[in-house]
Amino acid sequence: AQSVTQPDIHITVSEGASLELRCNYSYGATPYLFWYVQSPGQGLQLLLKYFSGDTLVQGIKGFEAEFKRSQSSFNLRKPSVHWSDAAEYFCAVASGYNQGGKLIFGQGTELSVKP
């Protein structure tokens, strides 16, 4: 069965510091991978996605993620965190779109940013 694991429930970083949020997936075929961000009481905003090709993908707000098939990982990174990045981050994998394409989410990582 497909699954997504985000090992870190909560991470605190200082403003200006670099960030890496971990995501591991379990999926039989080439996965469709996503990172979404959710601010308190808000909807889910797509940060970036990976389907194929270059394993380093760029997203909005200065985020990037690297797909590593050998490690079944899709970690999210940002070189310099801003206070406005404080939010909940969800990694997700989509089942094949010829199978409906539902998203399976990880448990989320809550990011706090210290001044």
Closest CB to other proteins among 72 and 95?
95
Rounded CA separation 75/64 (Å): 8
Distances (CA, A) of 33 to 30, 53, 84, 89, 113: 9, 13, 24, 13, 25
Q: Interaction with other proteins in 54-113: which residues (CB under 8 A)?
A: 90, 94, 97, 99-108
User: Per rule CB under 8 A, is residue 14 in the interface with other proteins?
Assistant: no
- Tokens for 21? 């949020």
Choose which of 49, 66, 73, 86 interacts with other proteins (CB under 8 A).
49
Applying CB under 8 A, which residues contact other proteins? 32, 34, 36, 41-46, 49, 51, 90, 94, 97, 99-108
